[in-house]
């Protein structure tokens, strides 16, 4: 990138312009590639294009300048001057454009405007020295034969270019993390290769190698940094999530930047129904539409039908405009002919730094599954809060596991046939000294996601074994204890072995334990579930189906699985007869009555959860429901309290 080291070439020595001519072809090839192959819409491409323009001007002017300098006797002085000035000014400016390019890559172009301006000062000095040359003749001059010669100030210009390069090498190495390895390598390659001809030309000044080597270096950059193969989604052809990550690195440095999310739900479903190829082609259409419609903002394909648009310094009005356009377009179908689909879409605006503090959180929001039905707006604050709550719960679970502070409570189950409490459900409790009671509905799903449910399940199981053993429950009329089994536990190969070990340790009969499986679990992974239950059944466990009627309507699994008891979800009871005594719609009562009857006819024992009032208890008695569970009898309580309770109610 330094100015070609021109040494007076007097007598029979001529500047060789062949390398410059080759450089012109290399440059033209790069320009063609960028303009026609890749499109020049991206900003960094434009800066790169700027470098190409400058190097091209430098090449052309070097060729003509050298021809003129080789043949001053046949050339007008002003023509010779013209090319020399053009060459020196464009070639020196290129160093600065290269600096801009690097700044852009590390995200300085907005955040550190001032630095960009300071960086321009040496160039300005360069240009002032150069263009005042007609007055002082210290940069270059001609002898009486018209031979082009360098003056003293030429070396100042030379030194400035060199200092730019030294600084940029340092800058690139310092920012290597933000740049990523291949980018750092490409930039360092460019700079190194620009130094080579400087050395060569000290010995062979007539070979004008500089620009040729620089154009080769630029080509290296073009095919690594600019080719974008690593940052473009092969499916949709727009930038991918890796590119978004780089953009977010930059956006978090600046202020007032927003990211718009646009999600299409359930891509798997569409892939299966209309086939991958058709769906990909629809996604391509959507991406193309977004890319064009949201221009000048950049659109990213984050996978699974989730898109993001990076909006720097956007106003609310523009967001509204984008929202309206998106909603309007998504009300219409995408695709062609029989594969024309209307998608529901979820729209969200994340104010970076304000709503979300880390890139990790941004990706959490991007990846969170779509949960709306038609055009819905994502509540970013809510989503971030719930994510952060999840992270907190995860921490509290870890802490409770470490401190062995998980507790197991017991809730009595009342039998219609004996009029007594004949069993209990074990329910896990997480009580944190700082955050208080965390409800299982909140921590169980988190524990299922990160796998700690296996350990928790083990703790609950052991506590139940201990309880049965120590509490001499049989004497108080308790036949068995219900233990909830998570689907994640059912996936574990060690489940049977660990249960066996525990039963052995406490010398317990597995018939004393009834395992509850929720209806939602039966809706997924049926094969594994059936296998696990079969194995456990052989050990001697019995099973209940929990939360019956909560919406997983496929009941064919009930035929395959050996349930003894079906636990009807409290919502079914409450719809028929609420805890506050309100009678629900007539159909709700019919549904409850018939469900109980049907299940009994099928040979199951039926339990209804959520019995809170005497009216509910009496209703269920009328319906011949076998078991009842609910606050009317007792809330879940600690084991000592439960033992005292039994002594009173079962006396
Ligand atoms: P579940 O198995 O359906 O347990 C019944 C839930 O209903 C319990 O909530 C219980 O406190 C509550 N409940 C019982 N009677 C009434 C009532 O009359 N009114 C009202 N409003 N609620 C009543 P809990 O203890 O919060 O547990 C929630 C869920 O967490 C459980 O639902 C179960 O799916 C899960 N869970 C609890 N402990 C464990 C465990 O150790 N392992 C696994 N895998 N899941 C557990
Ligand atoms: Mg249960
Ligand atoms: Mg339940």
pLDDT tens string 96-112: 999 988 888 876 665 56
Report whether 56 contacts 24 (CB < 8 A): yes
Element at 257 (helix H, strand E): strand 257-263
Arithmetic mean of pLDDT, 115-144? 91
Pocket of ligand 1 contains residue 81 by CB under 6 Å: no
Arithmetic mean of pLDDT, 489-511? 91
Residue 552 has pLDDT above 70, yes or no: no
User: Between these two residues, 528 and 650, which has the higher pLDDT value?
Assistant: 650
Arithmetic mean of pLDDT, 42-67? 88
Per-residue pLDDT band at 516 (split at 50, 70, 90): very high
Pocket of ligand 1 contains residue 631 by CB under 6 Å: yes
Residue with CA closest to ligand 1 atom 3: 547
Q: Are strands 480-485 and 257-263 parallel, antiparallel or unpaired?
A: unpaired
The whole-angstrom distance between residue 546's C-alpha and the CA centroid of its chain comes to 35
User: Which of 393, 407, 424, 440 most suits a substitution to test ligand 1, by most atoms within 8 Å of the C-beta?
Assistant: 440
Per cent of the chain over pLDDT 70 is: 93
Residue 520 has pLDDT above 70, yes or no: no
| Predicted pLDDT of residue 394 | 94
| Predicted pLDDT of residue 230 | 72
Report whether 335 contacts 277 (CB < 8 A): no
The residues pairing with 298 across neighbouring beta strands, listed in sequence order, are 310
Using DSSP's 3-state secondary structure scheme, residue 568 falls into: strand
| Predicted pLDDT of residue 7 | 41
Report whether 627 contacts 607 (CB < 8 A): yes
Sheet holding 306-312, edge to edge: 239-240, 298-301, 306-312, 257-263, 346-351, 376-377
| Predicted pLDDT of residue 413 | 97
Taking all residues of the chain, what is their mean pLDDT, rounded to a whole number?
87
Pocket of ligand 1 contains residue 80 by CB under 6 Å: no
Report whether 328 contacts 337 (CB < 8 A): no
Per-residue pLDDT band at 521 (split at 50, 70, 90): low
Element at 495 (helix H, strand E): helix 495-505
Query: Which range among 154-168, 405-419, 600-614, 618-632 shows the weakest confidence by mean pLDDT?
Result: 154-168
| Predicted pLDDT of residue 254 | 75
| Predicted pLDDT of residue 555 | 65
Per-residue pLDDT band at 74 (split at 50, 70, 90): confident
Residue 417 has pLDDT above 70, yes or no: yes
Distance (Å) from CA 236 to ligand 1 centroid? 45
| Predicted pLDDT of residue 4 | 40
The hierarchical CATH code for the domain 391-649 is 3.20.20.450
Residue 146 has pLDDT above 80, yes or no: yes
Contacts of 479 (CB under 8 A, 6+ apart): 422, 423, 512
The residues pairing with 429 across neighbouring beta strands, listed in sequence order, are 407
Pocket of ligand 1 contains residue 490 by CB under 6 Å: no
The closest-lying atom of ligand 1 relative to the alpha carbon of residue 516 is: 2
User: Which of 427, 518, 571 most suits a substitution to test ligand 1, by most atoms within 8 Å of the C-beta?
Assistant: 427
Q: Does domain 3-222 have CATH number 1.20.1070?
A: yes
DSSP-assigned letters across all residues of 510-550:
GGGEEEEEEHHHHHS-HHHHHHHHHHHHHHT-EEEEEEETS
What's the rounded Cα separation, in Å, for the pair 485 and 223? 55
Residue with CA closest to ligand 1 atom 8: 427
Arithmetic mean of pLDDT, 482-489? 91
Q: Which of 465, 446, 441 is nearest to 395 (CA)?
A: 446
Distance (Å) from CA 443 to ligand 1 centroid? 12
User: Which of 414, 609, 627 most suits a substitution to test ligand 1, by most atoms within 8 Å of the C-beta?
Assistant: 609
What's the rounded Cα separation, in Å, for the pair 168 and 419? 85
Per-residue pLDDT band at 501 (split at 50, 70, 90): very high
pLDDT tens string 202-261: 778 788 899 999 999 999 888 888 777 778 888 888 889 888 988 888 788 777 889 999
Residue with CA closest to ligand 1 atom 22: 610
**Residue 148: C-alpha distances to residues 7, 20, 80, 137 (Å):** 8, 18, 9, 11
Residue 2 has pLDDT above 50, yes or no: no
Model pTM greater than 0.75? Answer: no
Q: Where are the alpha helices (DSSP H) in 331-422?
A: 359-367, 380-403
**Residue 406: C-alpha distances to residues 210, 456, 469, 518 (Å):** 72, 8, 19, 21
Arithmetic mean of pLDDT, 508-534? 81
Report whether 567 contacts 548 (CB < 8 A): yes
Residue with CA closest to ligand 1 atom 21: 610
The hierarchical CATH code for the domain 241-378 is 3.30.70.270
User: Between these two residues, 521 and 268, which has the higher pLDDT value?
Assistant: 268
pLDDT tens string 348-391: 899 888 888 888 889 988 888 766 555 677 788 888 888 888 88
Per-residue pLDDT band at 149 (split at 50, 70, 90): confident
Domain definitions of the chain by residue range: 3-222, 241-378, 391-649
| Predicted pLDDT of residue 546 | 92
| Predicted pLDDT of residue 599 | 94
Gyration radius of the chain's alpha carbons: 38
Residue 148 has pLDDT above 50, yes or no: yes
| Predicted pLDDT of residue 111 | 57
Please confirm whether the linkage preceding 569 is cis (ω < 30° from 0): no
Is 241-378 in the same CATH topology as 3-222? no
Proportion of the chain in helix, strand, coil states, percent, rounded to 5: 60, 15, 25
Residue 554 has pLDDT above 70, yes or no: no
Residue 352: CA count within 13 A, CB half-sphere: 28
pLDDT tens string 81-99: 999 999 999 999 999 999 9
pLDDT tens string 12-36: 567 889 999 999 999 999 998 888 7
User: Between these two residues, 556 and 255, which has the higher pLDDT value?
Assistant: 255
Residue 404 has pLDDT above 70, yes or no: yes
Pocket of ligand 1 contains residue 636 by CB under 6 Å: yes
Place of tokens 């399940």: 457
Contacts of 432 (CB under 8 A, 6+ apart): 396, 399, 400, 405, 438
The whole-angstrom distance between residue 373's C-alpha and the CA centroid of its chain comes to 22
């Amino acid at each position: 990138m330094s100015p070609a080291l021109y040494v007076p070439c007097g007598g029979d020595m001529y500047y060789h312009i062949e390398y410059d001519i080759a450089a012109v072809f290399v440059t033209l090839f790069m320009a063609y590639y960028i303009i026609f192959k890749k499109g020049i819409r991206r900003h960094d491409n434009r800066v790169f294009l700027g470098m190409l323009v400058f190097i091209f001007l430098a090449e052309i002017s070097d060729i003509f300048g050298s021809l003129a300098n080789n043949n001053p006797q046949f050339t007008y002085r002003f023509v010779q001057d013209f090319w020399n000035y053009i060459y020196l000014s464009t070639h020196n400016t290129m160093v600065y454009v290269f600096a801009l390019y690097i700044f852009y890559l590390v995200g300085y172009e907005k955040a550190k405007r001032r630095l960009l301006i300071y960086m321009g000062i040496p160039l300005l000095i360069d240009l002032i020295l150069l263009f005042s040359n007609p007055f002082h003749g210290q940069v270059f001059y001609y002898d009486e034969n018209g031979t082009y010669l360098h003056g003293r100030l030429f070396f100042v210009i030379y030194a400035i270019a060199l200092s730019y390069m030294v600084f940029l090498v340092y800058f690139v190495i310092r920012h290597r993390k933000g740049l990523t390895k291949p980018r750092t390598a490409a930039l360092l390659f460019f700079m190194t290769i620009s130094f080579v001809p400087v050395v060569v030309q000290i010995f062979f000044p007539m070979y004008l190698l500089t620009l040729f080597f620089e154009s080769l270096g630029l080509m290296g950059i073009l095919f690594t940094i600019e080719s974008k193969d690593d940052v473009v989604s092969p499916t949709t052809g727009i930038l991918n999530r890796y590119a978004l990550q780089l953009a977010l690195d930059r956006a978090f440095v600046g202020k007032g930047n927003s990211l718009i999310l646009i999600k299409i739900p359930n891509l798997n479903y569409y892939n299966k129904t209309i086939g991958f190829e058709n769906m990909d082609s629809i996604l391509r259409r959507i991406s193309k539409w977004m890319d064009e419609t949201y221009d000048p903002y950049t659109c990213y394909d984050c996978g699974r039908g989730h898109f993001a648009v990076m909006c720097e310094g956007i106003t609310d009005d523009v967001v509204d405009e984008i929202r309206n356009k998106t909603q309007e377009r998504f009300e219409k179908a995408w695709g062609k002919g029989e594969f024309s689909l209307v998608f529901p879409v979820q729209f969200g605006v994340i104010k970076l730094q304000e709503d979300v503090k880390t890139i990790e959180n941004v990706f959490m929001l991007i990846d969170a599954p779509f949960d709306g039905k038609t055009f819905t707006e994502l509540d970013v604050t809510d989503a971030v809060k719930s994510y952060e709550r999840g992270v907190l719960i995860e921490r509290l679970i870890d802490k409770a596991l470490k401190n062995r502070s998980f507790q197991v409570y017991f809730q009595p189950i009342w039998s219609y046939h004996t009029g007594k409490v004949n069993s209990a459900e074990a329910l896990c409790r997480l009580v944190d000294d700082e955050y208080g009671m965390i409800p299982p509905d909140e921590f169980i799903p988190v524990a299922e996601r990160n796998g700690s449910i296996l350990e928790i399940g083990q703790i609950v199981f052991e506590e139940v074994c201990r309880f049965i053993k120590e509490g001499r429950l049989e004497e108080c009329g308790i036949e068995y204890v219900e233990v909830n089994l998570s689907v994640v536990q059912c996936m574990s190969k060690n489940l049977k072995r660990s249960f066996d070990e525990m039963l052995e340790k406490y010398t317990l009969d597995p018939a004393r334990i009834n395992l509850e499986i929720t209806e939602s679990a039966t809706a997924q992974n049926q094969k594994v579930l059936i296998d696990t239950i079969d194995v456990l059944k052989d050990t001697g466990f019995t099973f209940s189906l929990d939360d019956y009627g909560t919406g997983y309507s496929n009941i064919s699994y009930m035929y395959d699985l050996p349930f003894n008891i079906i636990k009807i979800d409290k919502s079914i009871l409450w719809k028929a007869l609420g805890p506050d005594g309100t009678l629900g719609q007539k159909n709700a009562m019919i549904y409850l009555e018939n469900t109980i009857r049907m299940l009994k006819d099928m040979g199951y024992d039926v339990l209804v959860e959520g019995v809170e009032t005497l009216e509910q208890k009496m209703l269920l008695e009328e319906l011949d429901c076998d078991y009842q569970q609910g606050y009317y009898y007792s809330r879940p309580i600690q084991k000592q309290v439960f033992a005292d309770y039994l002594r009173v109610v079962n006396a």
